[in-house]
Amino acid sequence: MTEVLTSAQMRAVEAAAIASGTVTGLELMERAGRGVVEAVFDEWPELRGGAGTDEYWGQDENHGPRRAVVLCGPGNNGGDGFVVARLLHGLGWEVEVYLYGDPAKLPPDARVNYVRWCGIGEVRALELDAVSAGRPVALCVDALFGTGLARAVATSVVAAVKALFNAFLGDSKVVSVDLPSGLCADSGRVLAGETAGPGLGEVLRPDLTVSFHRAKVGHCLSEGLRQRGRLRVVDIGLDALPSTTETATVPTPTNAVGKATDAHKYSHGHALILSGPAGRGGAARLAARGALRIGAGVVTVGCAADALAEHASRLDAVMLREVVDARALAAVLEDGRINALCLGPGMGAGAREAALVGVALRAGVARRGEPRRALVLDADALTLIARDAALFGALHDRCVLTPHAGEFARLFPDIAARLAAPATTGPAYSKVDATRDAAARAGCTVLFKGPDTVIAGPDGRCAVNSAPYDRTAPWLATAGSGDVLAGFISGLLARGFAPFDAACTGAWLHVECARSFGPGLIAEDLPEALPKVFRALGV
């Protein structure tokens, strides 16, 4: 797992380091500026120049000095920008610096670096009438507003930056310091004012964002995911986050999906996937295949009698059981080896199915000392739970809910409405906040799907499984991919994974399978891509 921090958590880390006397704020600013410059040259080696040397040469292809524009804001993010400007100038670049705000009101450390730059070059006010064209600009540094932004960016700033881009920044590489300006660091949402129009992020659209110490939550969510470009996190010498601070995490590979050499099939659990009627069984088969491929020892599809022949013609290693109604399901669950269930994919949303969900939620509760059975609820099962307060109230900590945005809104309408409301001040309500609130209310793990999938447990743990930039997986936008994800999670639950861990691991593997297969992916390909992904992990 990789930690991601809120703006308050990052400030706390910096404050603790400064209070300890091991570093000053001015030293941290210098390290941050240097980290940005090094990240720029790592990202675009052609800007480095000086092949075969350790020096950076600020010359363009015509052997004149390369030109950079640095946009500085009124806070410490602007102070980082002044450091970047000074370092680029020292490497032979021609640098223009624009400042939004009153230099007399800059924070102390930013003020020091402003004065240092003023001993080198001019600082222009970031205003429409300050815009002037010139030679092509190789690099634009966005150091306007970082993690501390708490309100919408003034329209005058957006207009001035847009004029700069129209004048001479259009072909430059753009790098944002810490966060694309105009975004909330805690939610990734654009902080919008009353006046409609393009936000600053739409104008800047950085190719690269350079952050410090840890990625921020906003890098992984909403517009932050789409606007940040490639993200680089540089070390500025801060200690690890205090253990008392609650953080979100980003899942990373796990080798826990391997199997012991002395195990047998029931050592890895038995997952039961409930199917819909004849002609609607494809979703359940996709889930079953996913559960089997991810390593469940045994997988059974339970269905009505009229669907048995259809499933039998399409399934071999997956077993079949007739499940006519809720009473039949209760009888099937007398088999204590069945330790994970999946309900919802293609199941239907009638009275029969509502009764099946009720039996599944009660299965194993306070009977012969059995623990509650692990349970994945997806698709139609979520619709049924949203309709029925009694079913919602029966949710427990062994459940995993896997809603997309529409299903989330039906399950948690007030939470969804708060998330959908315009973000006018920061820190704005985020998808992390919403998923945590939903998990606490439901008393179970909630996996809120999307390109910025968020998983939260009822204990407050949270993980963000976003798929940006080089991890993007647009091919997952295909019918049935969610059914496979439900199967992945069910199979991991059968193998003994805790619900939160099963959801995190299943979501991460789901994206990796899509990336491994690539364009042309359909849902049936996802389970078949797992062996290659496992081999790459060394399983």
Q: What is the pLDDT of residue 50?
A: 42
Q: CA separation (Å) from 455 to 419, 449, 468?
A: 16, 8, 17
Which pLDDT value is given to residue 243?
42
Q: What is the pLDDT of residue 1?
A: 61
Inter-helix orientation angle 25-43/76-90, to 10° = 60
CA distance 523 to 115: 59
- How many Å apart are CA 362 and CA 398, to the nearest integer? 11
Structure tokens belonging to residue 47: 């800007």
Q: Are 268 and 296 in contact (CB under 8 A)?
A: yes
Distance of CA 375 to the CA centre of its chain: 24
Going from the N-terminus, what domains does the chain have, and what CATH number goes with each? 2-239 (3.40.50.10260), 266-421+428-537 (3.40.1190.20)
Peptide bond into 427 cis (omega under 30): yes
Task: Return the structure tokens found at 160.
Answer: 């001035």
- Residues facing 211 on adjacent strands: 233
Name the β-bridge partners of 271.
299, 340
pLDDT at 88: 96
Find the length of the chain: 539
| Helix H or strand E encompassing 392 | helix 389-393
User: Phi and psi for 142 in degrees, rounded to 5?
Assistant: -90, 100
How far the first Cα of the chain sits from its last, in Å, is: 18
Provide the residue-wise pLDDT of the chain in tens; the chain has 539 residues: 678 899 999 999 999 999 999 999 999 999 999 999 999 999 999 898 643 344 455 555 555 678 899 999 999 999 999 999 999 999 999 999 999 999 999 999 999 999 999 999 999 998 866 666 666 789 999 999 988 888 888 888 888 888 888 877 778 899 999 999 999 999 999 887 654 455 687 788 899 999 999 999 999 998 888 888 999 999 999 875 554 345 566 565 555 766 555 555 566 899 999 998 888 889 999 999 999 999 999 999 999 988 898 989 898 889 999 999 999 999 999 998 999 999 999 999 999 999 999 999 988 654 455 568 999 999 999 999 999 999 999 999 999 999 999 999 999 999 999 999 988 888 999 999 999 999 999 999 999 999 899 999 999 999 998 876 667 778 888 999 999 999 999 999 999 999 999 999 999 999 999 999 999 999 999 999 999 999 999 88
Q: How far is CA 180 from CA 20, 174, 207, 263, 516, in A?
A: 30, 10, 10, 50, 30
Three-state secondary structure call for residue 315: coil
> By CB neighbour count within 10 A (0-12 exposed, 13-18 middle, 19+ buried), where does 479 fall?
exposed
Q: Taking Cα atoms as reference points, which of 190, 206, 196 lies closest to residue 155?
A: 196
Q: SS3 letters for 23-92?
A: CCHHHHHHHHHHHHHHHHHHHCHHHCCCCCCCCCCCECCCCCECEEEEEECCCHHHHHHHHHHHHHHHCC
Provide, for the chain, the percentages of residues in helix, strand and coil under a 3-state DSSP scheme, each rounded to the nearest 5.
45, 15, 40
Which pLDDT value is given to residue 370?
58
Instruction: Name 190's bridge partners.
Output: 183
Considering only CA atoms, give the Rg of the chain. 27
The pLDDT, as a whole number, for residue 164 is 84
Cα distance between residue 538 and residue 492, in whole Å: 18
